[in-house]
Amino acid sequence: MSNITEQEVLDNAYDFFFNLFSKRALNYSNKKYKSFKVNPFTIQATANAFGSPITANSLAKAVVYPFA
């Protein structure tokens, strides 16, 4: 087994997650708003993550933030 330093692990993790999320962001940027379908079963759980209790503002954030 090779000895990997903590900094190398952090650098590899950064690269992995940066590539993962940049690909997802590119996929979202290519989507048109009309093709985006909101899942009514999970939108409230997502809105709860933005603010508890669920308000109109947190629901709006849950719908709009994936495109930001």
Q: What is the pLDDT of residues 2-27, one digit of tens each?
A: 788 888 888 889 888 888 878 777 77
Which domain, by its residues, includes 21? 6-65
Estimate the crossing angle of helix 56-64 against helix 43-50, to 10 degrees. 110
d(CA 63, CA 37): 10
Residue-wise pLDDT for 46-62, tens only, equals 788 777 788 888 888 87
The answer to the question of residue 34 being in a domain is yes
Question: What is the reported pTM?
Answer: 0.41
Structural domain contains residue 60: yes
- Tell the residue number behind the tokens 């900094």, with chain if given: 7
* Cα–Cα dist 28/42, whole Å: 18
Number of domains in the chain: 1
Closest CA to 50 of 42, 38, 59, 41: 59
CB 47 within 8 A of CB 54: yes
